[in-house]
A and B are shown apart, each in its own frame.
Chain A
Amino acid sequence: MIDLLAQVQTRQRTGESCVAEDGFCPDYIVANFSDRYLGPFLEHIVLTLVPVAIGFAVAFGLALLAHRRGWLVGPFDGMTGFFYTIPSIALFILLLPFTGRGLVTGIFALVLYTLYIFFRNFLTGLQNVPPETKDAARGVGLTERQLLWRVELPLAVPEILAGLRIATTTTVGLAALAVFAGAGGLGTVILRDTSFKSDVVTASALCIGLAVVLDLLILALQRAITPWRRAAHGR
């Protein structure tokens, strides 16, 4: 019995020598993945997808309004652009007195960041539709509403998805700073001990990996829903 205990202890110690030296320890990372990294990683995914989805919806509304009423472009642009220029760490903290520490504050700040990216890309997409195309659509009797949903928006899809790609990769990176709003995410893993290589490397790799995977998914979506662009390239 004593023998067995002694053995167990020795093994633990050898296993932890790499950890004790703050090294990069693949065995340790694999063994502790679900305890140390999975939670923050899942939080990070939430901190990316939820703000992107909300930002997409809100900016979509703003862009449609501005597209209909041209004078709104300036104010919307100025407002969303202002949030975009405030440093992200500062924004996370400046929101704390209003919304308190936690996931809500993190998501709220990240939504404010995506707004400008989405708004600009939606608007560029809608504005790039050739006037002749719109005239033709009106000529065959489409109402303004039909024109928007059947002609303008489908033609704006490439710009909209380009905006989605940029907003998504940017949000993955900024979500690493949501730890300053007490919202969790992979930033927690980096900040809890910056000298522990295993933590820092794993968190960074997960961050970059998440950005790459999401980017490729949107790229695949883009190819799937805009077949005409591929045809044009093929010619």
Chain B
Amino acid sequence: MAQGGTRAMTVLAVVTEFIDALRLIVEPREAQTGNVQVGGLGEFAYFTGQHLLVSGVALGVAVAVALPVGLYLGHRNKGEFVAVSVSNIGRSVPSLALLGLFIAFAGIGFGNVALVLCLIAVPPILTNAYVGVRQVDPDTVDAAKGMGMTGVEVMRKVELPLAAPLITSGLRLATVAVVATATIGPLADTLTLGRPIINNNVYGEAGPLAGAIAVAVITLLADQAVRIAGRAVTPKGLRLRSDQERESGPNVPSLKRGAQTA
């Protein structure tokens, strides 16, 4: 009986903490340090805007740089070493360490955070573009050439559509990693949704929890947005069934699909 009572109390305490965190998102309250109002929908909307802005800039630059390189290397069938090493190195450098190094040596600011996030986004985009083009059946490419297509046409009309599902899953990996990592932006003075997490001395106990909830929701939404966009540009016949999609889903590398990275 007594034990059941304690358990009920614990559950109640957990629920209360979550409700308190949600209330911090919705309505402002006085800061722990006093005198200022923090939290509330307005502030969280601003954080969300900054979060998405810095993530979007980083992803945009990463796509502009990594996608052409990956496609070109895959098309010319060379540079496997580069494509694979980039993804391996990318995985073993912790994002916090990367941002720390940037802050220590390059300083703080929006640009530096965007650059760090961009470096995190490049490996999965590059590697998946490379593998996507490489795994296109050589016979298909030969047939396309036989029909008189030039290299550019083969790329644009054959390889790119066939590689679309893998390119999309690379973009999803990059998006999840970038939006998740943007959380540590406030360390470099970029006020993302990580602000109430990192400045919990101002926001109090509810701060980290509120930030974490917001970040988790934003990340899952961003992942789904990229999935749907990728699906829209993938030719109908190549779209994965939902069960296959789950399999390539948040997608983890295995030996066979060795180049897809976490």
A and B interact physically = yes
Q: Which residues of A contact B (CB under 8 A)?
A: 22, 24, 74, 77-78, 81, 84-94, 96-98, 116-117, 120-121, 124-125, 128, 158-159, 162-163, 166, 169-170, 172-177, 180, 186-187, 190-191, 194-197, 200-201, 203-204, 207-208, 211-212, 215
A211 to B97, CA, bound (A): 13
Cβ distance B72 to chain A, nearest Cβ, rounded Å: 27
Decide: B180 and A169 in contact? CB cutoff 8 A: no
Q: Are A169 and B213 in contact (CB under 8 A)?
A: no
Q: Report how far A101 CA is from B7 CA in the complex, Å.
A: 19
Contact-residue bracket for chain B = 35 or more
Question: Contacts A84-B252, A121-B254; is A90 near B212 (CB within 8 Å)?
Answer: yes
Contact call A194/B104, Cβ cutoff below 8 A = yes
Chain B interface residues (CB < 8 Å from chain A): 13-14, 17-18, 88, 91-98, 100-101, 103-105, 176, 179-181, 183-184, 187-188, 194, 197, 208-209, 211-213, 215-216, 219-220, 223, 243, 246-247, 249-250, 252-256, 258, 261-262
Q: Which residues of A sit under 8 angstroms from B258, Cβ to Cβ?
A: 162
Q: How far is the CA of A172 from the CA of B262 in the complex (A)?
A: 13
In the assembled complex, 10 residue pairs joining A and B whose CB atoms fall closer than 8 Å, in A order, are A22-B104, A81-B246, A86-B219, A93-B209, A93-B211, A124-B254, A125-B255, A159-B254, A175-B94, A177-B96
Pair A204/B101 contact, Cβ less than 8 Å = yes
Q: Check A169–B216 contact: CB distance below 8 A.
A: no
| Total number of residue pairs linking A and B with CB closer than 8 Å | 160
Residues of B within 8 A of A94 (CB): 209, 212-213, 216
Inter-chain contacts of B176 with A (CB < 8 A)? 85, 87
Q: Given the complex of chains A and B, what is the CA–CA distance between A196 and B213 in angstroms?
A: 31
Which residues of the other chain, A, contact B95 by a CB distance below 8 angstroms? 173, 176-177
A204–B255 contact, CB under 8 A? no
List, in ascending order, chain B residues with CB within 8 A of A196's CB: 104
Kindly provide the distance from the CB of A115 to the nearest chain B CB, expressed in whole angstroms.
10
Docked complex Cα distance between A136 and B248 (Å): 32
Known: A78-B246, A81-B246, A163-B254. 5 other contacts (CB 8 A): A162-B253, A169-B91, A194-B103, A204-B94, A208-B93
A86 touches B216 (CB 8 A): yes
The listed residue with most B CB atoms (<10 A of its CB), out of A173, A177, A196, is: A173
- List chain B residues, Cβ under 8 A from A195: 103-104
Q: A90-B219, A180-B197 are in contact. Are A162 and B254 (CB under 8 A)?
A: yes
- Assembly CA distance A48 to B21 (angstroms): 30
CA distance A74 to B246 in the complex (A): 9
CB contacts (< 8 Å) of A177 on chain B: these are: 94-96
